[in-house]
Structure 1
Amino acid sequence: MTKKKLIETSLPLEVINAASVREKSIRHGHPSTLHLYWSRKPLATARAVLFAQLVDDPASRPDEFPTVEAQDAERARLHALMGKLVVWENSLDENLLGQARDEIRKSNSGKLPAVLDPFAGGGSIPLEAQRLGLEAHASDLNPLAVLINKALIEIPPRFAGRTPVHPGGNDQATYQRAEGLAEDVRYYGQWLRDEAERRIGHLYPKATAPDGTEHTVIAWKWARTVKSPNPANPIEVPLVNSWWLSKKKGKEAWVKTTIQGGQVHYEVVHDANGPTGDDEWTIKHGKGAKAVGDSTPFDYDYIREEGINGRTGSHLIGIVAENQRGRLYLSPSLEHVNAAQIPRLEVDEDGDIATNPRWFSPPAYGMTKFSNLFTNRQLVAMTTLSDLVTEARERVLADALATGLPKGDRLEDGGSGARAYADAVATYLALGVSRTVDYSNAMCSWHNTGEKMRNIFSRQAIPMVWDYAEVNPFSDSSGNFLGQVEWVVKVLERTPTSAEGTADQGSASERDYGDLVISTDPPYYDNIGYSDLSDFFYVWLRRSLRDVHPQVVGTMLTPKAEELVANPYRHDGRAGAERFFVDGFNSVFHKIRQGARPDVPMTVYYAYKQQEAKVDGATSTGWHTLLDGLINAGWEITATWPMRSELSNRMLSQGTNALASSIVLACRPRPADAQTTTRRAFVARLKSELPEALRTLMQGAIAPVDLAQAAIGPGISVFSRYTRVREADGSDMSVRDALLLINATLDEVLGEQESDFDPDTRFAVTWYRSYGWSAESSGTADQLSRATDTSLGELERGGIFEAKGGKARLLSPEELDGAWDPALDNRLSVWEATVRLAAIMGGQGADKVAELLAEVCSRLDLDAVKELGFLLFHEAEKKGQAKDALLFNGLVSAWGDVTDQARRIDPGARSTQEAFDFEDEE
């Protein structure tokens, strides 16, 4: 019999989500900083999902855990282990990782399974599989993704524990993981930087300050120019979004313009009284452009025409230099203008930028080639750095042979000797060069509040930048080359090497899936143009690595024909793009179903965006396409979990099922002999199975904001276990209609909890559902109170209601946020306790709530308080009351922590209320 895995029953979502959110602020050493890739999954999420995917749910082992209580306690233990696993600081804790591996072995016949992500992308899933000691396999059609995965999972284990080969590199006795390799990358990166400066350093002159001192330039600030359309004053005018160079308090600097001899003159001014409002720009989205001097207006169409006809130029408007006390902002000089005026280099590695205005703005202005995105000086710098990777490799090879390493095969042929080691170092140096490309192009800008370079990919697109910053790759400041190498080195030093890994290039529809556990993050329908965006880096990586990874970088640009995205520019419009995606998606997951392991569920990520939601509860084509595709390919969806890696102020969206950055689905192969059913039978089965599934979810550490999305799992599991669900007219029920029915059933299940509440609480829930905190007639209140077996007098004595002057209303959380002693409360209802605790959590924090819970638990069943918190969140969300929903979500989300604190405050509390078990709530 197939055993359910933990991911199909419960997850400590809040802990996982908190760790994933925190990961965004971790920089040095984090694998995402090895090289840019789009929409990577947080490592904490990938690690937790893999663990839960491979570990049995306690209910699947009744011989070990025969009772519900024993199963809940074991889940709590596994959740606690996961809570430690997802912490970034524990990611190299071998003792903790060993415990995780032991749990995985227990659930997999004493073995550690092999894991594959066939859409590996930025490599989070294969890397975390390797960290858990699993044999990791990554494949992707995109060569940039393949190189990143090789650098993360394939190369480090091959050279783990090696001593550096560079001269003087044997000072340390032992090297853990890939620390020795990392030290060599740092050493040869320094050599590459110094050699490049020796060859082209003259192109980057120092700047002279007003006091005569010389300073290394960090960046040159340029503005693109067009000729003014005013025939009476046809001067070359700059296009500038902001004249400010620095808005930092006490260090303000801005560019002042004057017209001298028919030309624009630029001067850097140091004071806080710079331009504001319409004076701050000459081009602005939504407003068009204007000429300096006479403010002649012109539109974007005029600029596009000038660009397409090659009539744009550039002016140096300011210089940013290094200074002991921070940045130094200087006026432009003829010396620095001339330094950039060098012949344009023709590069072999080039390509056309995709004509998709959703992702790429430059082609509309005549910049149709990737080489157009670089200044003349930047092209020289990038070709020099790229070509020096090959020379650095030869130095590594010579030094490695000198240490006694055998020559061996090349890295691509599976070697591990001197030649392969030189290839490995070259791979990381090339990634350092590629990282530099992100900052060394004419689409970068200067961050005038952070006083630093802003890279080209601030989002998943290449937008047009008018006033751009040209970085000095040889400075010691923002955007320099050696700094990019250091980012690579810090990742390599922390990369796990406990298991083997392979990264291959290939189509997901053509590879083999035999005996592999699948966890994957497939392309997101039409959200991201992976290959088109990757070409920006690929043309330079190919120049550096065509002799090191000839098979991976064998094409001129990244493969696109087979890329599984719904790109209307590539597939004859939206309809053609949708057909291509659906057919390809179904083909891949049909093939996975034929070969993947049947004893472990597959996990699939879907990147959910809040803007996909619609008011009627339906979501985007992408979400329905994913569910339809999996079901049609023969999969039963057994769980859906919302994974949030971003905090949002707008946490709620009325009528939707998700508030997540991603949704993770667990899927099992549907039996070949699966039956069909009717709508009536489907609804009956939903009502039979969903209540127990919700009990398990709410017993775990799930937030109310995530309950509706998580409830889709057991609901869509019922739908997808049938080959088809027939409507009354004989047609097949759609996924969209199934989701609406699941939502309706969720409403019913939550509503059924009301019958177990005390009379005052039943009254208050019904009143809130109808009127919220608004006043209504006392007659209506009196009638409802009788129906719920209470009275207006009792409700007022209970401190939750007010009736006077013919009007009646519930007291709001703000009115219940004052001093309160539960022990002295003569009529304490579940409603009063829940609303007061939610208000106190929002105003005074978890410590105060824990203190009060130690008293409340002697008066009430705290499980009822938690259940009411879920119900009130659900009602507030439906009413669009975001403020209320935030309060109730905050209370229930912190439930495990506050109950644990309460237990420590009053260890005897547990015995006074048997229905409440603090241990089970951890």
Structure 2
Amino acid sequence: MTTAASPAPPVTPGSLADAPALIERLLPVQKLSAETYKERMAVHGQTLTGLGSYWKGRKPLILNRACVLASLLPATGNPAKDLEIFELLMGMDDASLAARAKQRPKPREILERVTISNIYDYFTVAPPILPKTAPIDLADPQYAIVRVAWRPDLPEADRRWLEARFLEPETRSYRELIRELRRPEEVPDLHDHIWERVNAHLGTSAHSLQELVEQLGIMRFGRRPRVADPFSGSGQIPFEAARVGCDAYGADLNPVAAMLTWGAFHIVGGTPEERERLRAEAKALVETVRSELDRLGVETDGRGWRGKAYLYCLETRCPQTGWMVPMLTTLVVSKGYRVIAELIPDPVNRRYDIAIRSGVSDAELERADRSGTVRSAGRGQDPYLVHTVDGREYRTSIPALRGDFRLPDGTTGNRLRRWERTDIAPRPGDIFQERLYCIQWQREGGRETEFRAVTDEDLDREQRCHDYVAAHLEEWQQNGWIPDMPIEPGQKTDEPIRTRGWTYWHHLFTPRQLLLNGLLNGHSPSAACSLLVAKSLDVNAKLSHWHRSAGGGGSVQKVFYNQALNTLYDWGGRGLVNLAPYGLLNDLPSQPLATERVVACRPAQETDWPADLFITDPPYGDAINYDEILDFFIAWLRKKRHPEWDGWVWDARRPLAIKGEDEDFRQGMIACYRRFTELMPDNGLQVIMFTHQSAKIWADLAGIVWASGLQATAAWYIETETDSALRQGAYVKGTVLLVCRKRRGEERVSRPELELELQDEVKQQVEQLLGLNREARALYGPDHNVFEDADLQMAGYAAALRVLTRYSRIDGRDMTQEARRPRKKGEVTFVEELIAYAVQEANRHLVPAGISDSTWRELNGAERFYLKMVDLESRGQRSLDNFQNFAKAFAVRDFRALMGDQRANHARLKTALELERSEMHDGSEFGGTTTRATLYALMELQKGMPAEEVLTHLEHNLPRFLSDTRVRGRVVEIADYLARRVEVTRPEEARAARVLRDLVRNQGFSG
């Protein structure tokens, strides 16, 4: 508990100026990985996501906080204490975990679980009949009348200690431990208990995170620290830097990214007064738009109901029958309200009326779900239009409807008319028409809703929307109320052009959506309101999916549920009653910021804000085409003239965007990071976040670091992967934090000297991490590690970059020129060779417990991979990222042949039974090896084959089995190892392994 402290002397400016930063020595990456994963799994509960979830490339705030704090904290030479202080500040210590519990445990719960030598030191017991020690079985009938309460004089620290023990941190993995806890940022006063220990270790006098950060900044740089991110994206890094107490700068080439950074600073990070002003502005904006809609009479039915959701579909003429057919992927309207659509044939007009039925049976709901008019034969197959006339079914593929064709020169096209700027709806002769087929109404002033079929009155209201927008189109486009911007072709923007014929951004909206969005945009009084209007655009377009099973009967979903512009056959639009609370009046988190905050919209290489720390997440190998898809918002906002955004260029400026992995990208990155280096003090730091994929990419980064005048001092690997329903397959993402300083001097080295230095550097780094693991196991038990094997691998990469980038010349080569030299396709560069060498050095330390060093040296890469991953699986580590990294580390060409499951967080190896007879041939990396032969024998034993036959086959699979005791010894060792490691995950295989071990051991003695 915080107590009043006597005034402490001020810290000494510059006293830490030359001290190494903690992030250059230590980082508890496994705990940080777990916290990062937990924040990402919060999805829309994340602090800044509410500003605009259409930005997908967000680095979790907890990761950004770790980078800032670990860059400011000193590495004092006492690594265990340094780690303890960092975990206190991050809310990762036991007492903080107790404070993060969603509910504090009750005394009786603690007594049933926690070992206590004298319960009366902590609790009052009435009547006092409990034994002195705990845990106690309070379910015993004799204790039913006992009332237990906390002692009123118990210090808060003692209560927190018991609550921490209740979580059982000694017996549970950290990831499991925090699963049901709140995130650190969700807990007020999380740091109350830490300041005495923190200040004693650091020589500070802080009583808040912001005070500590300022004091550390003064001790390092002589002022409050300044943090810059010129690739700010959604503003995650600069926002978190400001939240912990730094002055912060965020900039991006794309104005939508700059807008989100501005929103992070001034909406989520705004003062209470700013938030109240925004709330009033948003409310007034909604009332203005409501009045205009009511004047036009387009959202109410005249009987006390207001339109909540408008459901549309494409409609097209079947070329085989001449009928106009609504294009619906399903006839279910709402699973929650049990509402379906029925197609009623109109033979006279050769079209279908659409009736809406509510409260249908399960059978009717299921039948409707299978009865859409747009279907697909399966993944990768073209969808087709289907309907039945006079008992005969007619099918036409969608590409055939569009008239898709390919010319001899390889170009493609179709018969769709390209829409013009003046179009706001299909023309009568267009292949695809648009039809309103259902409306969800909500009673004015209440929450009651109902679904209705479309009436003539509804169609009249739709026509009024169309006519009003058509009449004001030119004026509204000139004034910037609705877009007049063409869709520029691109990898993602080609989709709406090709599949619908849309050529301007306003074509992605129905007349009703143009009316509502245009009124909101046109009357928006401030930058903050315009940001919220952009948020509204994401849920009110022709690309907004109607989610039929959502709570409340259904919901119009986001356009950017993924990173593409997905055209739909049927979609939803929102009425103001449904749009305003979502986009304008919902309460975003409030995290008032008090430091200097600067936002700019400019290329990263034009940064002009000097900073002590540059923490960046550059678009390295970025698969998200923000420079294309964010034109969706730019088209609406580019003519707004808010003073807060003065000087911003509302254009994606695609030619200036740095992305990809080609030569232009490398040169662009060098220009950026050289500029950052110029703006950084001599004792400043840079932390570069990127996705680790291969030695080639590390070599690229090494080149960028070299050419930018930097030297790498550390690299850390953070797991951030998650399974996603939107990303089928093995999509994983691991983030590497590359820590850099300015390179001093012009040092030279020969390759032999460099290899020796790499060996020493790797050994020192790995031994330090293993030493911390030994301390953790001594404290918490044999299975507790701070660092896992993936971190030891990263030590190889870190050591390589630390050693390599220290030198200006290696073997007479000017490394800056080498870094700038264009690479030839397929070339394995000098730098790649050295990095691969360093990683192999690190791998020498990855021998799993239970396998001797001598046996490990005899195994090939596939065997090492299999046995190592068995070890990780036994400890519950099933991240596919780990499997990928170790396959690279052990130079396994095709590790997937050995995989039984390749999902991101459920990865596992094939069992002996699943391998069956596969991978036994000479062409396989695994074939002919001791480990493969052992697994084959385990398969046979599990199938009940006689022991004599199993041994005969083992002799055949290992030609030296009888003549070489070392071969038999390796089989015994591997079988014993597998028996221990798969005891829980594959008990039958473990039993077979014990049998095989004893069979071979006994045969060895007899022979």
- The 5 Å alignment of 1:54-453 reads 54-59=72-77, 65=78, 71-84=79-92, 87-90=184-187, 98-101=207-210, 104=213, 107-110=216-219, 111-153=223-265, 178-201=271-294, 202=296, 204-206=298-300, 215-230=305-320, 233-248=321-336, 251=338, 253-256=340-343, 258-260=345-347, 261-269=349-357, 270-272=360-362, 273=364, 274-275=366-367, 279-284=371-376, 286-293=381-388, 294-300=393-399, 302-303=401-402, 304-308=414-418, 311=430, 312-322=432-442, 328-341=450-463, 342-343=466-467, 344=470, 345-346=473-474, 347-348=477-478, 349=480, 350-358=484-492, 360-364=494-498, 365-390=500-525, 426-450=526-550, 451-453=554-556
Partner of 2:711: 636
Match of 2:677 in 1: 593
CA displacement 1:388-415 (0-9 Å, x = unmatched): 223xxxxxxxxxxxxxxxxxxxxxxxxx
Would you say 1:521 and 2:611 are equivalent positions? no
Partner Cα separation in structure 1 for residue 61 and residue 535 of structure 2: 21
SS in 2 for 1:351: coil
User: Which residue number in structure 2 is paired with residue 712 of structure 1?
Assistant: 797
TM-score, scaled to structure 2? 0.63
Query: 1:771 aligned to 2:931?
Result: yes
Paired residue for 2:757?
685
1:647 correspondence with 2:816? no
Alpha carbons of 1:526 and 1:203: their partners in 2 closer, same or farther (altered >3 Å)? farther
Task: State the alpha-carbon separation in 1 of the partners of residues 514 and 539 from structure 2.
Answer: 13
Equivalent in 602, 626, 631 of residue 535 of structure 1: 631
- Matches of 2:33 and 2:345, distance apart in 1: 53
Deviations, residues 198-225 of structure 1 (Å, cap 9, x unaligned): 10134543469xxxx8643321111112
CA deviations 1:283-328 (Å, max 9, x no partner) are 5462232243342313326425234376121122222334788763
Closer/same/farther in 2, CA of residues 287 and 92 from structure 1, 3 Å limit:
farther
The corresponding residue for 1:164 is: none
Secondary structure of 1:713's partner?
Answer: helix
- Structure 1 unmatched runs, 5+: 60-64, 66-70, 158-176, 391-425, 567-576, 651-655, 803-808, 819-827, 832-922
299-308 vs 747-756, which moves further: 747-756
Structure 1 range deviating more: 267-276 or 809-818: 809-818
2:310 aligns to what SS in structure 1? strand
How far is the alpha carbon of 1:189 from its aligned partner?
A: 1.4
Q: Distance in 2 between matches of 1:484 and 1:645?
A: 29
Contact 1:635 1:667 in 2 (8 A): yes
SS of the equivalent of 1:266 reads: strand
Q: Judge conservation of contact 1:509–1:591 (CA < 8 Å) in 2.
A: yes
Q: SS in structure 2 opposite 1:642?
A: strand
Secondary structure of the 1:320 match is: strand
- Counterparts of 1:676 and 1:327 in 2: how far apart (Å)? 76
Q: CA RMSD in A?
A: 4.2
| Alignment-derived partner of residue 748 in structure 2 | 675
Ranges in structure 2 where 5+ consecutive residues have no aligned partner:
1-16, 97-182, 195-205, 403-413, 420-426, 774-785, 819-827, 869-929, 938-950, 988-993, 998-1007
Identity of aligned residues (%): 18
Q: Secondary structure at the match of 1:538?
A: helix
1:721-760 residue pairs with structure 2 within 5 A? 721-726=806-811, 733-751=829-847
Aligned to 2:899: none
TM-score (norm 1): 0.68
2:21 is aligned with what amino acid?
A: K
Shift of 1:618: 5.3
- CA contact under 8 A between 1:759 and 1:788: conserved in structure 2? no
3-state SS of paired residue (1:361): helix
Provide Cα deviations, 1:211-247, integer angstroms capped at 9, x if missing partner.
Answer: xx864332111111233223xx223333333332233
Alpha-carbon distance, 1:751 to partner? 3.8
Residues of 1 paired with 2:833 and 2:722: CA distance?
30
Is residue 962–residue 968 contact of structure 2 (8 Å, CA) maintained in 1? no
Q: How many residue pairs align between the two structures?
A: 706
Instruction: Determine the C-alpha separation between the residues in 2 that align with 1:791 and 1:291.
Output: 63
Counterpart residue identity of residue 666, structure 2: V
Question: Contact (CA 8 Å) 2:343, 2:352: kept in 1 or not?
Answer: no
- Aligned with residue 48 of structure 2, among 31, 36, 42: 31
Compare relative contact order (CA 8 Å, sep 6+) and give the higher one, 1 or 2: 1
* Match runs of 1:9-24 below 5 Å: 9-24=25-40
The letter for the 2-side match of 1:384 is L
Deviation at 1:153, TM superposition (A): 2.5
1:43 to 37, 56, 61: 61
Q: Secondary structure at the match of 2:656?
A: coil
Distance 1:673 1:753, change over 3 A: farther
How far apart, CA to CA, are the structure 1 residues paired with 2:440 and 2:833? Answer: 59
Equivalent position amino acid for 1:239 in 2: M
| Conserved? CA contact 2:759–2:838, under 8 Å | no
| 1:45-70 per-position Cα deviation (integer Å, ceiling 9, x unaligned) | 111111112211233xxxxx4xxxxx
Q: 1:463 aligns with which of 555, 562, 566?
A: 566
Instruction: Confirm or deny: 8 A CA contact 1:360 1:461 kept in the other structure.
Output: no
Q: Mark the CA change 1:760 to 1:302 in structure 2 (over 3 Å): closer, same or farther.
A: closer
Task: Give the distance between the partners of 2:838 and 2:327, measured in 1 at CA.
Answer: 54
Distance verdict in 2 for CA 1:517–1:306, change over 3 Å: same
Question: Once the 2 structures are TM-superposed, how far is the Cα of residue 629 of structure 1 from its aligned partner?
Answer: 2.1
**Displacement of 1:490:** 2.0
Deviations 1:362-388 (A, max 9, x none): 011311111111111211212211222
Deviation at 1:757, TM superposition (A): 8.4
Contact 2:48 2:268 in 1 (8 A): no
Q: How many angstroms does 1:648 deviate by? A: 4.0
Q: 1 CA distance for matches of 2:372 and 2:702? A: 49
* Contact persistence 2:253–2:602 (CA under 8 A): yes
SS at match of 2:592: coil
Q: Which amino acid aligns with 1:771?
A: T
Q: Give the match for residue 141 of structure 2.
A: none
Q: Deviations over 1:507-532 (max 9, x none)?
A: 22122353532111122345222232
- Partners of 2:322 and 2:699 lie apart in 1 by 55
SS at 2:713's partner residue? strand
Give the C-alpha shift of residue 673 in structure 1.
0.4
Give 1:355 deviation, angstroms: 0.9
- Flag the 1:735–1:307 CA change in 2: closer, same or farther, 3 A: farther
Q: 1:765 to 1:564 in 2, by over 3 A?
A: closer
C-alpha distance 741-295 of structure 1, shift in aligned 2 (>3 A): farther
Q: Is 1:484 paired with 2:589?
A: no
Name the aligned partner's letter for residue 664 of structure 2: F
List per-residue Cα deviations over 1:146-199 (Å, max 9, x = no partner). 222223326787xxxxxxxxxxxxxxxxxxx61232122222312211221110
